[in-house]
Chains A and B, each alone.
Chain A
């Protein structure tokens, strides 16, 4: 299904108190463009995880900083870009938990990126040190207009 390009943008203070506002924003756009409830839940959670990482790690709870959330809808995909201007990190360097050893060792934390990759079709990270960091997450529409189920991409 070809979708006309649309852009949505939210600039919001870096506070955990506003994670709910971020989720409501992302979920309402995802619902509006036709994702079913399960897919809306996944997108909402993935964006929460990305923004929680920004609040905790990039900005280290500095509420004077802002997070930018841009959603772009085009013909076959829903793209969310979360941008911060804080301390960067290289996503490639973050070790994804191996779930077996994770369960065995009962490790705490570090689940956000793992969840984002499970929930979205594509997740990538781009950092310009000292300028900005971007996490880009994509969920595809199917060509016949139905939405995808769980992605096979890992």
Chain B
């Protein structure tokens, strides 16, 4: 059985969340908790690294949607980095690339905060 893990790394002004495994209705609450912690700590410049995310359903997509407005209101953003082709296709199907910036490399997403 594959599992789901959320890891977090804090840089000076940017926090990175690493998603590993599958993100569905069962595991979405773990991701939600990680984002809520960042918001509570006022760390709203967020990069979500998707390189190890093997699967996403609408329950996982809903977490991104549930937080983005609040995070942008606070002057932050959620930027996506390194999605696999499989996961990117699902994002694309729902038009997420219009709403979220997607980067091939994590460093590019981090740099975007530092240059903007």
| Contact residues in A for B59 (Cβ distance below 8 Å) | 52
Whether A99 and B57, one on each chain, are in contact in the complex, defined by CB atoms closer than 8 angstroms, is no
Does B115 count as interface, using CB distance less than 8 angstroms? no
In Å, the complex CA distance between A30 and B93 comes to 21
Which one of A16-24, A88-96, A140-148 is at the B interface?
A16-24
Taking residues whose C-beta sits less than 8 angstroms from the other chain, chain A's interface range is 20 to 34
Number of interface residues of B (CB under 8 A): 24
Nearest CB in chain B to that of A46: its residue:
B57
In Å, the complex CA distance between A107 and B61 comes to 11
Interface residues of A in 107-133 (CB under 8 A from B): 107-109, 111-112, 114-115, 118-119
Whether B25 and A106, one on each chain, are in contact in the complex, defined by CB atoms closer than 8 angstroms, is no
Interface residues of B in 42-97 (CB under 8 A from A): 55, 57-59, 61-62, 65-66, 68-69, 86, 89-90, 93-95
Q: Take A108-B65, A108-B66 as given contacts and tell me if A20 and B99 are in contact as well, using a CB distance cutoff of 8 Å.
A: no
Name the residue among B1, B65, B66 with the largest chain A CB count within 10 angstroms. Answer: B65
| Contact residues in B for A52 (Cβ distance below 8 Å) | 24-25, 57-59
Q: Take A19-B25, A20-B22, A103-B99 as given contacts and tell me if A112 and B69 are in contact as well, using a CB distance cutoff of 8 Å.
A: no
| Contact residues in A for B24 (Cβ distance below 8 Å) | 16, 19-20, 48, 52
Whether B58 and A112, one on each chain, are in contact in the complex, defined by CB atoms closer than 8 angstroms, is yes
Name the residue among A23, A45, A49 with the largest chain B CB count within 10 angstroms. Answer: A45
Does A36 count as interface, using CB distance less than 8 angstroms? no
Does A56 count as interface, using CB distance less than 8 angstroms? yes
In Å, the complex CA distance between A119 and B58 comes to 13
Does A41 count as interface, using CB distance less than 8 angstroms? yes
In Å, the complex CA distance between A46 and B92 comes to 15
* Residues in A lying within 8 Å of B, measured CB to CB: 16-17, 19-20, 23, 38, 41, 45, 48-49, 52, 55-56, 99, 102-103, 106-109, 111-112, 114-115, 118-119
Given A38-B89, A55-B25, A106-B65: 7 more A-B contacts, CB < 8 Å:
A17-B26, A19-B57, A45-B55, A45-B57, A107-B65, A115-B93, A119-B93
